[in-house]
Amino acid sequence: MQNTLSLDVGQFSCAGVKPENQDWCGAHLPGEPQLQVKGAAAAIADGISSSPVSATASETAVNSFLKDYYCTADAWSVRSAAERVLNATNAWLYTQTRQSPYWPDKNKGYVCTFSALVVKGHEAHLFHLGDSRIYRLRRGSLEQLTRDHRLWAGSHRSYLGRALGVEPQPEIDYLRLTIEAGDLFILSTDGVHEYLSEQALISILGEYAGCPDSAAEALATAALANGSSDNLSALLMQVISVPGCIQEGLESPQNLPLPPILKAHERFDGYTIERELHGSSRSHVYLATDDASGEQLVLKLPSIDLSDNPAYLERLMTEEWVARRVDSPHVIRAAATRRPRNYLYTVMQLVQGQTLRQWMTDNPNPGLETVRGIVEQLARGLQALHRAEILHQDLRPENIMISATGTVTLIDLGAARVDGIPTSVENTLPIPGTALYAAPEYFLGDLGTPASDLFSLAVLTYHLLSGEFPYGTRVAHCTTVAAQHKLRYRSVLSETREIPAWVDATLKRALQPNPLRRHEALSEFIHDLRHPNPEYLNATRAPLLERYPTRFWQTLSGLLLLLVFYLLSVIASHT
State mean pLDDT over 36-42.
93
- pLDDT value at residue 1: 43
What DSSP state is assigned to residue 92?
Answer: H
- pLDDT value at residue 74: 81
State mean pLDDT over 450-468.
97
Q: Is the pLDDT of residue 407 over 50?
A: yes
- pLDDT value at residue 423: 52
What CATH number is given for 6-241 in this structure?
3.60.40.10
State mean pLDDT over 340-354.
92
- Would you place residue 147 in the very low, low, confident or very high pLDDT band (cuts 50, 70, 90)? very high
Residue type, 511: L
C-alpha neighbours within 13 Å on the C-beta side of residue 203: 6
- Closest C-alpha to 87, from 108, 71, 65, 57: 65
- pLDDT value at residue 544: 52
241, 245, 248, 251 alpha-carbon torsion, rounded to 10°: -120
* Superfamily holding 354-542: Transferase(Phosphotransferase) domain 1 (1.10.510.10)
Q: Is the pLDDT of residue 418 over 80?
A: yes
CA distance linking residue 280 with residue 155, whole number of Å:
73
- pLDDT value at residue 497: 85
Contact 118, 40 (CB under 8 A): yes
Q: Is the pLDDT of residue 150 over 70?
A: yes
- pLDDT value at residue 549: 63
Contact 382, 413 (CB under 8 A): no
CA distance linking residue 52 with residue 453, whole number of Å:
51
- pLDDT value at residue 245: 47
More confident residue, 253 or 495: 495
Kindly provide the residue ranges of all beta strands, DSSP E only, lying in 303-411, ordered along the sequence: 346-349, 354-355, 390-391, 400-402, 408-410
Q: Is the pLDDT of residue 507 over 80?
A: yes
Which of 224-233, 423-432, 485-494 is predicted with the least confidence, judged by mean pLDDT?
423-432
34 to each of 28, 65, 87, 429, 437, how far by Cα in Å? Answer: 11, 16, 23, 28, 36
- Closest C-alpha to 457, from 502, 405, 539, 524: 524
CA distance linking residue 9 with residue 25, whole number of Å:
12
- Closest C-alpha to 137, from 181, 84, 185, 94: 185
3-class DSSP state of 212: helix
More confident residue, 544 or 158: 158
Which of 143-152, 192-201, 240-249, 420-429 is predicted with the least confidence, judged by mean pLDDT?
420-429
- Would you place residue 553 in the very low, low, confident or very high pLDDT band (cuts 50, 70, 90)? confident
18 to each of 21, 142, 232, how far by Cα in Å? Answer: 7, 29, 10
Q: Is the pLDDT of residue 83 over 80?
A: yes
- Would you place residue 542 in the very low, low, confident or very high pLDDT band (cuts 50, 70, 90)? very low
CATH 3.30.200.20 fits 253-349, yes or no: yes
Q: Is the pLDDT of residue 195 over 80?
A: yes
Q: Which residues contact 166 (CB under 8 A, 6 or more apart)?
A: 94, 106, 109, 111, 160
CA distance linking residue 267 with residue 427, whole number of Å:
37
- pLDDT value at residue 81: 92
- pLDDT value at residue 285: 93
DSSP sequence for 108-156: GSS-EEEEEEEEETTEEEEEEESS-EEEEEETTEEEE-S---EEESSSS
- pLDDT value at residue 29: 96
Kindly provide the residue ranges of all beta strands, DSSP E only, lying in 343-494, ordered along the sequence: 346-349, 354-355, 390-391, 400-402, 408-410, 417-418
State mean pLDDT over 513-521.
95
CA distance linking residue 442 with residue 419, whole number of Å:
17
- Phi, psi for 517 (deg, rounded to 5): -100, 0
pTM of the entire predicted model: 0.69
Contact 388, 37 (CB under 8 A): no
- pLDDT value at residue 457: 98
- Would you place residue 32 in the very low, low, confident or very high pLDDT band (cuts 50, 70, 90)? confident
- pLDDT value at residue 400: 96
Q: Is the pLDDT of residue 426 over 50?
A: no
Percent with pLDDT over 70 in the chain: 91
CA distance linking residue 163 with residue 109, whole number of Å:
11
Per-residue model confidence as pLDDT tens digits over 382-403? 999 999 889 999 999 999 999 9
- pLDDT value at residue 427: 44
Q: Is the pLDDT of residue 53 over 50?
A: yes
Per-residue model confidence as pLDDT tens digits over 565-575? 778 787 877 76
Beta-bridge partner residues of 142 = 137
Beta-bridge partner residues of 289 = 272, 296
State mean pLDDT over 460-464.
97
Longest dimension (CA), the chain: 120
> Edge-to-edge strands of the sheet including 271-279?
267-268, 271-279, 283-290, 296-302, 346-349
3-class DSSP state of 234: strand
State mean pLDDT over 471-499.
93
- The chain-wide mean pLDDT, for the chain, equals 89
Q: Is the pLDDT of residue 442 over 60?
A: yes
More confident residue, 105 or 474: 474
Q: Is the pLDDT of residue 160 over 60?
A: yes
Per-residue model confidence as pLDDT tens digits over 209-264? 989 999 999 999 999 999 999 999 999 999 999 986 444 445 555 567 889 989 99
- pLDDT value at residue 428: 46
DSSP sequence for 416-431: -EETT---SGGGT-SS
Percent with pLDDT over 90 in the chain: 67
